[in-house]
Amino acid sequence: MTRIRITKSLPSLLKGIDALLIIAPKARFDDGSFLDALPEPIMRLALDLASDLDPGLTGLAAGTLTGEEPRKLAIGVLPDEVSRHNSPSRAEAIRRVVAQSNTGRSGSAAILLFLDDPDHFAAAACGVARALPLFQLTRKSGPGSSAPVESKQGPKLGIMAIGPDEAPITPPKWLSSVIDYSREAGRLVDTPPTDLNPKAFQDEAAKLLRGVNGLTRKAFVGDALLRAGLGGIHAVGRAAVEEPRMLVFTYKPTTKAKGSKHIALVGKGVTYDTGGLSLKISGAMVGMKMDMGGAAAVLGAFCALVKGGAPCTVSAVICLAENAIGPASFKNDDVIWMHSGKSVEINNTDAEGRLLLADGVSYAARKLNADIVIDIATLTGAQGVATGIMHGALVADDAQIEATIIEAGRKSGDLVHPLPYAPEFYRAEFKSQIADMRNSVANRANAQSSCAAEFVHWHMDDTDARWAHVDMAYPAMRGGRATGYGVALLAQAVRDLA
C-alpha cells in the first residue's frame, strides 16, 4: 500500500525517486514557465509530451522513459475550465490522471501539482489519494501457500504543489490527517464483510482513535440498545452472528472559539446488507459490503478532525448492524419502537439503513444536545438517478447549512448537490394504519431520496438541532473500489460550520 507524504521543497520531492508525474492545466503546459525549476531534460520531455495531448473534459495522462533520473516521467494534462457544479480544484480530473499514469503503485514516486489557487491544494491532494486505495489482498509466494494476506509494505509517494506565483504552496496543517483517514475509510469499505462485521468495525475504531486525549467513548451493544431505546438498530442487526451496536465518541478541544457549536456526525454502518427477509435477488446483493460507507466516512472524518485540529466540540455516532437472515430476523409487518418514541411499521426490511440513522440522529439531538446533526449513508439507489456517481445527494432543513455543505464539497472535492426538503410533500408516503409511520414509501416515483431523508429527519424534527443528510450510495465506490468519499467533505463542513 502506497505511503503518501506532503513536501514543501522541490529538491526533497525529487530526491531518490524512480518516477515523476507532473499535473497541470493545459494552458500552463502551453506556457511552460512553471517547469523552469526542473532539470532541463525533464522539462523538455514534459513539454514534448504535453504538446500533443488534448485533455478533453476529464484530463489525460501520458508517459515516457527518461534515460536518467527519475527513470520514468509522466504528465497529467487537466482541462483549463470546469463547470460550475464541479470543484474548481479539478480533483476528479487529478484522480483520473494519477490512475491513468499508474504513478505511486510501485517504487518511489513523486507528484508535482500546478494549481490555480493555493486553496485548491487540499482537494487536489485528496484526488491523488483516491487513486491509491490502501486495501489489497495478495497470495503468499511458495508452494502450498495460498492464504491471502493484506499487504503491509508498499511504495512511497511524495506530493508537492506550486501556485500561480510559481512558489511552493504551504499545505494546511490538517491536510495529512484528511488524506490518511480518507484512505482508511476506503480500506474499511473495501474489506470483505465477514472480516468487517460490527464487532470488527468497533475494534478498528478503537485502533484508529488510540491515544486521543479529551475523548469520551460509549458503546451500546446487543440488548443494551433496547435498554437505551434504540429499537431500530437492534431490529436490523439482531439476527446476525455479531450483535448490532452504536458507538458514540465525543471530542472537546482544549481551546475553541466562543460561541462555537457542537456538531454530531451520524453514520450508517450496515456491514453487509442481504436485504433481510425482503431479500436482494438477481445479483443485487453483490457489493453490499459498501453499505457501511457512511459509518466509515464518519469515523474517518472524526479521526481527521480530532488529530488535525477540531475547531469545536464534535461527536461521532456510528450505527452498526449486519442485515442478516435467521430465526430472529425482523419481519415485514413488525412494528418497531424507535429512540424518538415514534413507532414504525416495517413494510420493507431492505429499507433498513434509515432505521439505523433515525435512532442515531435522535440520540445525537436528544442525548448529546448537538446543535447541528449531519448524517451520511449509502441510503438509496435513487440517489444515483438523482445526482449521479460524482455528487452525493444533500437534503437539509436549513438553507445556510445547505449552502455551507455544498461549498465544503467544492472545497474538498467530495461533491454534493441539493435535493428538495419538503416534509409536507413526503411524509404521506410513509402512512401507516397502525403505527406512526411505515419505513418505505408508497410511491417510489416521488423523490425517493428526499423521502428517505425525511424519514430520518422526522425522528428529530421536534428538537432544536439543525440537520443535514448526505446520501452517498454511488460516490462511495467507483470501479469496484472504495473512494473514501465523505471524509474530506465532513471534515471541511465541520470546520466551516463551527
Which residues are identified as catalytic? 280, 354
Residue 358 C-alpha cell reads as: 433515525
CB contact at 8 A, 473 and 297: no
Residue 161, beta-bridge partner list? 113
Rounded to an integer, what distance in angstroms lies between the CA atom of residue 196 and that of residue 357?
A: 20
- Short-list 131, 103, 115, CA closest to 78: 115
Please report where in the chains the cell 459498501 appears, as a residue.
Answer: 290
Q: Within 59-114, where are the H helices?
A: 91-101
- Short-list 256, 251, 246, CA closest to 215: 251
- Short-list 244, 93, 115, 89, CA closest to 170: 115
CB atoms under 10 Å from CB of 140, counted, come to: 10
Residue 316, beta-bridge partner list? 249, 265
Count of helices and strands (H, E) across the chain: 16, 21
CB contact at 8 A, 69 and 76: no
The DSSP bridge pattern shows strands 148-150 and 262-273 to be: unpaired
- Can you say how many angstroms the Cα of residue 392 is from the centroid of all Cα atoms in its chain? 10
Amino acid occupying residue 485: Y
Count of residues making up the chain: 498
Q: Within 351-447, where are the H helices?
A: 353-366, 382-387, 399-412, 423-426
Rounded to an integer, what distance in angstroms lies between the CA atom of residue 427 and that of residue 378?
A: 21
The DSSP bridge pattern shows strands 466-471 and 313-323 to be: unpaired
